[in-house]
Structure 1
Amino acid sequence: MSAILKLEELGMLLLSALLLWNSDAAWFWYLLLLLGPDVSMLGYLINNNVGAFMYNLFHHKGVAVVIFIGGVYFNNIWMQQIGMVLFGHASLDRLFGYGLKYRKGFAFTHLGIIGKNKLRENESE
């Protein structure tokens, strides 16, 4: 991923942290920002289809924005903060090169192949 895209993702991560701070979020929201949505990876224990679906549901910025806007509409601070966490975490993952998943397996993302599979692919070239 290019440096400019990484800067963009960093900006979105910082925006979500700033929005959390501005909403007087409790400390645990910041822990959730870093780790919470990754519980979705447990779907891979069932199979790749379920894993990719769950991971993408918890890491899709569109879903995060819909939840946040729903929280604004219903004046529900919890929904707003959940939206902020999901959005920020998705940006954090993109910053580290983890994209939305294909059903082929965890290593196959919209940003390219990650992990050992990438190493194997490079060795075969």
Structure 2
Amino acid sequence: MKTLLKSEELIQFLGAIYLFSRLNFAWWWFPALILVPDISMIGYLVNPAIGAVLYNIVHHKGLGIAIGLLGLMLGSQNLILAGIILFAHSSMDRTMGYGLKYVDSFKHTSLGNL
């Protein structure tokens, strides 16, 4: 089952790369921005509960989709880019086994323990 889930996430990640390729940004923007959502881990400096909540908000695929759709509605390439990056990052993380976090520990994720 884990392999099937990871393959699904990989396909979503590749789809995000394709969507990025349709935007008017230089190719290097994608690798330059792909790890920016991990800034949300700063919440773990306060405690695991705050860290998990902040991490989960930023890594929720619905946020990336909502921002991307808002960008489409407003005709904003920058918002579309932000949405694609958030979505791609979350898919990439889940491909590598990093799921959404439980409040007790960074290593306790929706995909199991790290």
TM-score (norm 1): 0.85
Report the counterpart of residue 31 of structure 2 in structure 1.
Answer: 30
How far 1:107 moved relative to its partner? Answer: 0.7
Residues 17 and 30, structure 1, Cα contact 8 Å, conserved in 2: no
1:11-64, Cα deviation, whole Å (9 max, x unpaired): 11111111111102232233212x111111111001112111111111100111
Identical counterparts, % of pairs? 42
Residues 43 and 51, structure 1, Cα contact 8 Å, conserved in 2: yes
Partner-residue secondary structure (3-state), 1:106 = strand
Gaps of 5+ in 2: none
Q: Counterpart amino acid of 1:25?
A: F
Higher helix share: 1
Q: Counterpart amino acid of 1:89?
A: H
TM-score (norm 2): 0.92
Gaps of 5+ in 1: 115-125
Partner-residue secondary structure (3-state), 2:72 = helix
Which protein is bigger by CA-based radius of gyration? 1
What is the aligned-residue RMSD (CA, Å)?
1.2
Aligned residues: 113
Q: Counterpart amino acid of 1:32?
A: L
Detail structure 1 runs of 4+ shifted over 4 Å in the superposition.
Answer: none
Report the counterpart of residue 20 of structure 2 in structure 1.
Answer: 20
Q: Distance in 2 between matches of 1:21 and 1:51?
A: 32
